[in-house]
A and B are shown apart, each in its own frame.
Chain A
Amino acid sequence: MNELSDVFHDWFSTRGWTVHPHQLDMVARSTTPSLLLIAPTGGGKTLAGFLPTLAELSEHPRPGLHTLYVSPLKALAADIKRNLGAPIDEMGLAIRVEDRTGDTSSTKKRRQRADPPHILLTTPESLALLLTYEDAPRIFDGVSRVIVDEIHALSESKRGDQLMLCLAEIQAMSPEMRRVGLSATVEDPAAIARFLAKHPIPCPIIYADPGPAPDIEMLETEELPPWSGGGGKYAIPRVLEEVAKHKTTLIFHNTRAQAEIFFHELWLANAESLPIGIHHGSLSREQRERVESAMVRGELRAIVATGSLDLGIDWGDVDLVIQIGAPKNVKRLVQRIGRANHTYNAPSKALVVPANRFEVVECMAALDAVRSADLDGEPRGRGPKDVLCQHILIRACRGAFHADELFGTLTSTGSYSDLTWDEFSRCLDMVATGGYALRAYDRWQRLMQRQDGLWQLRDPRAAQQIRMNLGTIQDTDTLKVRLKGRGGGRPLGEIEEGFAATLTPGDTFLIGGRVVRYEGLRELTVEVTRRAGRPPKIATFMGTKFATSTQLSERILETFRKDDWPGLPKHTADWLDLQRTVSKLPSADRILVESFPHDGRHHTCIYGFAGRNAMQTLGLLITDRMERAGLDPLGFVATDYAVLVWGLNQIPDPAPLFDGDNLREAFETWLSGNAVMKRTFRASATIAGLLERNWGHQRRSGRQASFSSDILYETLVKYDPGHLMLDITRGEAMKGLVDFGRIENMLERTKGRIDHVILDRVTPLAAPLFLEQGLVPIFGEGRERLLEKEAARLMSAAGLKR
């Protein structure tokens, strides 16, 4: 099947379309075992992926599963089903297309296993689940093609690793299966190709015409960006003007909380009542679907969104993208800009709105990077072991297996191609027995090796439990929010449990753009009413917090070296000048440390420009060393460029805190005890199957919560420090949340050159940090002193004496 038949050409011409060269290319090379297509949004990428399937099935109709399509979003699977319907119906092809996601009914799922459609649209999680059934080999026998959509997004997460392991298994069931990846523009296409292909088969890359360079600028406003804070409220009048001038505008925010506030403020200022919606991952499915379909029908003039709209097919005629807040990462900005693609081959139009003055600098740096097509990204590491462990469980659910055979399949996956046998055996042992030095579970082990050498579940009934715990997406601890009264009604969305715990009846917060009043907690549901009296507290959402990329940080530091800044708006240039006058501007080869009093506490601000995660780690390390030095730190807050520490005592000399060797040594001892490790342990142990999902949440009224996973972690560190799960946790924390590599880079580039500036007040550059969310409290001597004080205060307030 190397070219399209007349039926297809006719169909394209009745539609008034021409086939894109890359779409023809995909058909021409459809027999290639692995093929990666890189195309901008709106380039007919998905159709390019499916054309070979449609062509093959129209020439040679046959029953059974022909093409498996996997996308990161459930919604995408449903939309593709709709969109494929048009060509299939209009060309009169006898092709059955079905989706299978978490929303598919169990009856339909059972039927699909017995009688699979020609094209099955699914997600990595649903596919993994399908592979736990004994009849999987029968379903996948003869599958000809797999299409992985939005592979650039999947390749950045464990979901992608899990998917590729699943594909390796399916490939073993159907050796002729060809793989196709569809990707947006990325910085390292070859890496995605290696990720996609069966190792070591080469994977050629087809590049679609990227189209004209985007038309992107910083939004000019009459009102100046504030000194600090996020959200971009000051720009609302200008944003509304732009919305009025365009057909459909996507307004992207970096966090859900900011999207909520912005949406709220936008409506307060929306005198013309332009139809504007909101879309983010914490809203209920119904609410998101309502917004999506209104958008498809062209009923919305703007949608305030977060990463939840980063992916997906083109909902509506978006002709403007506005990014509120610094984009943190150039690649993501480029991909977001690509959403404004209402006419292919016309430049995408985008505006960037810095939320504060510091972000003006960051936005300018990002725009320069976009214009010079200088994309950023971190190389993807080796395949994670927790995902591997889960995969062993998936395999075991399906039936008995040979360890050698499984090892062979696993290592045919790009990201696991260098997995050693020893590493694999350790994972297998942990899955089977827990992997503890104390062999306590001989009677209860999960997998056992039979006489014939095959491995199987000790108790086949465990398969059900394992299925319920599949997946690599981390559940944050969230609670549903419902309106009180009459059966509760549909949930409005979710808030984080930690936030819910801070609410007292009468408090108000924003959700779905509405101010609601907290009434109480009932059976793990937050009950609210519409009565809103007080200014809203802000709901906090986990969401992903991206760190500003290394490349972007370098560009910012580069900017600071200049004598003046004709490219920057005057207000920002003046601000940098002021900082230079009262203190210094940070530079790439020195660490700037400022100390000043504020609000009765001693504050120290350290400018490291190592990205949020590394700065967070630096904060933990520095406060740990302060604790040892008796400086009684109380807490800190980290941003992408600085960490602000406060405490009961002043830091006399910061140099010893930064001593490289000491810092590294402290890092090693500190790492095992810190909160990031505990959080990472919980996530990884859940993925690896050592902990069940929702661990610690079997709360019913009047029962104790089961104990925290932190206790498990501490016990393991104390009694079994060599345990595989601790190795995995460490590796995960190092590359993700701890990001010690970027601290090393910072120490390397500054080589102990520290400038300590002592001032009597907050500096211009430090001021924004005081409004940051995500303060990290330090539970040391300082906190103990305060806790004691508080206890004494409460006792005397209650008139109690001891």
Chain B
Amino acid sequence: MNENIDFCGTRVSLMPSGAFFWPSAKLLVVSDLHLGKSERIARRSGQLLPPYETSETLLRLAREIDMTNAQSVLCLGDSFDDQDAVKSLDETHIATLQRLQSGRQWIWIEGNHDPGPLGLAGTHLAEYRIGPIVFRHIAAQPCERGEISGHFHPKARVQNVPRPCFIVDENRMILPAFGVYTGGLSWTTPELRNLFSNQAIAYLTGRKILAVPVPPISTRP
């Protein structure tokens, strides 16, 4: 069950999968897919992890597109684990991507893992503005009202249950990582927590979205 919230004058949906949907723009947004992660790990460290995360992540993405009937898809950066990971995509993955892209506008936002154009169909942008909203990979400092970003892979912990989450306050929103092989950063880590006001709310992903206030900024000496 998704959660509809008001954000900077727009009505948007937070999906239990960690995807973001903006009904009036028919825009689906997913962040930090990290496609090709296992290949990159093999290339860089020699560890041979189960090489199925790209299939699984694309499958999950296809499901969200089907469910929302999105006309536009925006990947909010770190879509690929690095530039070389694009080249190592196998034919079935490329075919899947092409099928998903056909008949839709597709936007790749640059991330720190995948700066620059990817050599794939779609528009490649550093950031994307539409109405009151700006999409970029890493939250800007100082804060710009209406910003939606990714990068941090926020994770909340309630009753000792860890869950990837959206974090939202009056001005900005950070999306959870959508990719399968992704870890998380605790919502109380200062680098992440300090980006938000004390009114911030975390929306936990899972079977359905659960809203929880983010613990206030700690005043530990």
Which residues on B sit within 8 Å (CB–CB) of A702? Answer: 185, 189-192
With A505-B220, A705-B185, A791-B210 known as contacts, the answer to whether A719 contacts B52 (CB < 8 A) is: yes
CB–CB A690/B49 < 8 A: yes
Q: B132 an interface residue at 8 Å Cβ cutoff?
A: no
With A465-B45, A690-B48 known as contacts, the answer to whether A705 contacts B183 (CB < 8 A) is: yes
Which residues on A sit within 8 Å (CB–CB) of B158? Answer: 787, 790-791, 794
CA distance A702 to B189 in the complex (A): 7
- Produce 1/0 per residue, A715-755, CB < 8 A to B: 11011100100000000000000000000000000000000
Binds A, one of B35-43, B69-77, B114-122, B138-146: B35-43
In chain A between 697 and 720, which residues have their CB closer than 8 angstroms to a CB of chain B?
701-708, 711-712, 715-716, 718-720
CA distance A784 to B189 in the complex (A): 26
Chain B min CB distance to A248 (Å): 43
Closest to A459 in B: B46
Binds B, one of A109-117, A435-443, A658-666: A435-443
Q: A798 an interface residue at 8 Å Cβ cutoff?
A: yes
Q: A93 an interface residue at 8 Å Cβ cutoff?
A: no
CA distance A784 to B209 in the complex (A): 11
CB–CB A707/B191 < 8 A: no
**Number of chain B residues close to chain A: CB under 8 A:** 43
In chain A between 746 and 802, which residues have their CB closer than 8 angstroms to a CB of chain B?
777, 779, 783-784, 786-788, 790-791, 794-795, 798, 800, 802
Chain B min CB distance to A658 (Å): 29
Q: B67 an interface residue at 8 Å Cβ cutoff?
A: no
CB–CB A716/B50 < 8 A: yes
Chain A min CB distance to B88 (Å): 8
CA distance A708 to B161 in the complex (A): 14
Q: Which of A438, A445, A502 has the most CB of B within 10 A?
A: A438
A-B contacts, CB under 8 A, total: 122
CB–CB B182/A784 < 8 A: no
CA distance A715 to B185 in the complex (A): 21
CA distance A716 to B50 in the complex (A): 6
CB–CB A791/B212 < 8 A: yes
Which residues on A sit within 8 Å (CB–CB) of B161? Answer: 779, 783, 787
Which residues on A sit within 8 Å (CB–CB) of B204? Answer: 791
CA distance A690 to B160 in the complex (A): 29
CB–CB B181/A707 < 8 A: yes
CB–CB B211/A802 < 8 A: yes
CB–CB B212/A794 < 8 A: yes
CA distance A415 to B187 in the complex (A): 49
Which residues on B sit within 8 Å (CB–CB) of A433? Answer: 48
Which residues on B sit within 8 Å (CB–CB) of A446? Answer: 46, 48
CB–CB B49/A712 < 8 A: yes
Closest to B185 in A: A704
Which residues on A sit within 8 Å (CB–CB) of B68? Answer: none
Q: A421 an interface residue at 8 Å Cβ cutoff?
A: no
Which residues on B sit within 8 Å (CB–CB) of A777? Answer: 160
Which residues on A sit within 8 Å (CB–CB) of B190? Answer: 702
In chain B between 44 and 98, which residues have their CB closer than 8 angstroms to a CB of chain A?
45-53, 55-56, 90
CB–CB A704/B184 < 8 A: yes
The residue from A459, A703, A715, A798 contacting B52, defined by CB atoms under 8 A apart = A715
CB–CB A788/B210 < 8 A: yes
CB–CB B52/A794 < 8 A: no
Which residues on B sit within 8 Å (CB–CB) of A788? Answer: 210
Which residues on A sit within 8 Å (CB–CB) of B180? Answer: 711, 715
CA distance A357 to B12 in the complex (A): 61
Q: B25 an interface residue at 8 Å Cβ cutoff?
A: no
CA distance A711 to B46 in the complex (A): 19
CB–CB A520/B220 < 8 A: yes
Chain B min CB distance to A24 (Å): 53
Which residues on B sit within 8 Å (CB–CB) of A440? Answer: 38-39, 42, 51, 90
Which residues on A sit within 8 Å (CB–CB) of B201? Answer: 795, 800
Which residues on A sit within 8 Å (CB–CB) of B50? Answer: 434, 436, 712, 715-716, 719-720, 723
Which residues on A sit within 8 Å (CB–CB) of B160? Answer: 501-502, 777
Closest to B50 in A: A716
Q: A444 an interface residue at 8 Å Cβ cutoff?
A: yes
CB–CB A718/B56 < 8 A: yes
CB–CB B199/A716 < 8 A: no
CA distance A445 to B48 in the complex (A): 8
In chain A between 535 and 591, which residues have their CB closer than 8 angstroms to a CB of chain B?
none
CB–CB B213/A436 < 8 A: no
CA distance A707 to B144 in the complex (A): 30
In chain B between 173 and 221, which residues have their CB closer than 8 angstroms to a CB of chain A?
177, 180-185, 189-192, 199, 201, 204, 207, 210-213, 220
CA distance A701 to B185 in the complex (A): 10
With A520-B220, A704-B152 known as contacts, the answer to whether A690 contacts B39 (CB < 8 A) is: no
The residue from B52, B183, B212 contacting A708, defined by CB atoms under 8 A apart = B183
- Produce 1/0 per residue, A216-246, CB < 8 A to B: 0000000000000000000000000000000
Q: Which of B48, B161, B207 has the most CB of A within 10 A?
A: B48
With A703-B185, A712-B50 known as contacts, the answer to whether A444 contacts B220 (CB < 8 A) is: no
The residue from B47, B51, B90, B182 contacting A704, defined by CB atoms under 8 A apart = B182
CA distance A572 to B146 in the complex (A): 70
Q: Which of A701, A707, A716 has the most CB of B within 10 A?
A: A707
CB–CB B207/A784 < 8 A: yes
Which residues on A sit within 8 Å (CB–CB) of B38? Answer: 440
Chain A min CB distance to B65 (Å): 20
CA distance A718 to B160 in the complex (A): 27
Q: A28 an interface residue at 8 Å Cβ cutoff?
A: no
Q: A696 an interface residue at 8 Å Cβ cutoff?
A: yes
CB–CB A790/B159 < 8 A: yes
Which residues on B sit within 8 Å (CB–CB) of A436? Answer: 48, 50-52
Chain A min CB distance to B67 (Å): 20
Chain B min CB distance to A545 (Å): 21
CA distance A218 to B173 in the complex (A): 65
CB–CB A441/B183 < 8 A: no
- Produce 1/0 per residue, A510-527, CB < 8 A to B: 000000000010000000
CB–CB B46/A716 < 8 A: no
Chain B min CB distance to A721 (Å): 11
Which residues on B sit within 8 Å (CB–CB) of A497? Answer: none
CB–CB B52/A716 < 8 A: yes
CA distance A712 to B181 in the complex (A): 8
Which residues on A sit within 8 Å (CB–CB) of B43? Answer: 443-444
CB–CB A692/B52 < 8 A: no
CB–CB A444/B210 < 8 A: no
Which residues on B sit within 8 Å (CB–CB) of A465? Answer: 45-46
Q: A434-B50, A786-B159, A800-B199 are in contact. List 16 more A-B contacts (CB 8 A).
A: A433-B48, A438-B52, A440-B51, A443-B43, A446-B46, A459-B46, A690-B48, A691-B49, A696-B183, A704-B182, A704-B185, A707-B182, A719-B55, A787-B161, A798-B213, A800-B201
- Chain A to chain B: the 4 pairs with minimum beta-carbon distance, closest first: A434-B48, A440-B51, A719-B52, A702-B191
Question: Which residues from chain A sit less than 8 Å from chain B, CB to CB?
Answer: 433-434, 436, 438, 440-441, 443-446, 459, 462, 465, 501-502, 505, 520, 690-692, 696, 701-708, 711-712, 715-716, 718-720, 723, 777, 779, 783-784, 786-788, 790-791, 794-795, 798, 800, 802
Question: Which residues from chain B sit less than 8 Å from chain A, CB to CB?
Answer: 5, 38-39, 42-43, 45-53, 55-56, 90, 152-153, 158-161, 177, 180-185, 189-192, 199, 201, 204, 207, 210-213, 220
Q: List 24 A-B contacts (CB under 8 A).
A: A434-B48, A434-B49, A434-B50, A438-B51, A440-B38, A440-B39, A440-B51, A441-B39, A441-B42, A443-B43, A444-B46, A505-B220, A690-B49, A691-B49, A692-B45, A704-B184, A712-B181, A718-B56, A719-B55, A720-B52, A787-B161, A791-B158, A794-B212, A794-B213
